[in-house]
Amino acid sequence: MKTAIQERARALGFEACRVTTAVAPAGAEWFRRWLGNGAHGAMAYLQRTAEKRTDPQQVLPGAKSVITLAVSYLAIETDRSPPPAGSQPIQAHPRVGVVARYARWADYHEVLREPLQALAQYVDQVGGPGTRSLAYVDTGPILERDLAQRAGLGFIGKHTNLIRPELGNWFFLAEILTTLELAPDAPERNRCGRCTRCLAACPTGAITAPFQLDARRCLAYLTIELKGPIPVEQRRAMGTRIFGCDDCLAACPWNRFARTGSLLREHRRRDLENLDLVALLSLDEAEFRHRFGGTPIARIKRRGLLRNVCVALGNQGDERALPQLARAARDPEPLIAEHAQWAITQIALTQH
């Protein structure tokens, strides 16, 4: 049955499919301590769902197995080459905002929903009457990286993300919890060795030690998860990033073996690779929804994106952006107005 499920997963476009048991992962206690230290920042949903995340039986009573899946989002061959530590991707124009690579596609939750549900239905079919399965793409209350490592899908790197040697770390995770009992695969061992490139690459020192992340200092958290003002002391480190940060991922030497996948190929959004910062400041709510609806960027709403854009322009220091920033400083949304005023001040300091 497991072989048939894995073959079906490959036919649906998944790059890898591995199986583990549905018992609590070994990282459950570490996760509780991480929450207790407040390293999750304002992500209160992690605290609310902590008990479920540390026990798959609370998510699906009677679960016997967890099927873990990988989908590559490597877009171009040059994604394989790690940049110098602490650097940003070179932009064709200085006013272009940097968007994390995973977000340069249509919303992966929606893209992967159909093939994942098709696989879950196949699992129920193979398992026969009474088999129940639940499928998740980055949304379920489970410790997906711990389960994926135990299933042998990859290993958790020192940057706390999953690495699969033949995919690097450019891939999405998905899971199916099922009451069908399947033979578990062998866990993957850690293959980081002495490498610490990801720690050196982090612009804010958010990777405080190997395998330890303080989300409150992570630029992905600050530009996406944080809903309020970005701490002033972290704004300069953002550079021109406006959605997420890839620096620790891009530094990983395992990316040299990564390969592109087929499932996402038709869903690439090239328009998200060259976003003009100044032009973004003119977006109203309707224009924002039209341009970014159906993409990961829609998640942070207009207020979050323009907050980030203002910081990026302040860091870029081009006085030609001042008229647009002055307009943004009068925006009825206080979050945008405050960050626009900060950007104006930064540009003034740069010029003098």
Q: In the predicted model, is pLDDT for residue 209 greater than 80?
A: yes
Structure confidence at residue 277 (pLDDT): 97
Angstrom distances, CA of residue 181 to CA of 53, 62, 154, 243, 262:
20, 10, 22, 40, 29
pLDDT given for residue 76 in this prediction = 63
Q: Which residues contact 120 (CB under 8 A, 6 or more apart)?
A: 133, 134, 135, 176, 178
Report the pLDDT value the prediction gives residue 258, as an integer from 0 to 100: 93
- Phi/psi for 67 (5° steps) reads -95, 120
DSSP helix/strand/coil, 96:
strand
**Comparing 13-27, 88-102, 170-184, which segment has the lowest mean pLDDT?**
88-102
Mean pLDDT within 204-219: 97
pLDDT band at 139 (very low <50, low <70, confident <90, very high): confident
3-state secondary structure (DSSP) of residue 252? coil
The CA-based angle 62-64-68, given to 5 degrees, is 125
Show which residues are catalytic: 138
**Alpha carbons 128 and 235: distance in angstroms, whole number:** 54
For the chain, give the percent of residues with pLDDT over 70.
Answer: 94
pLDDT of amino acid 95: 79
Find the mean pLDDT for residues 167-188: 97
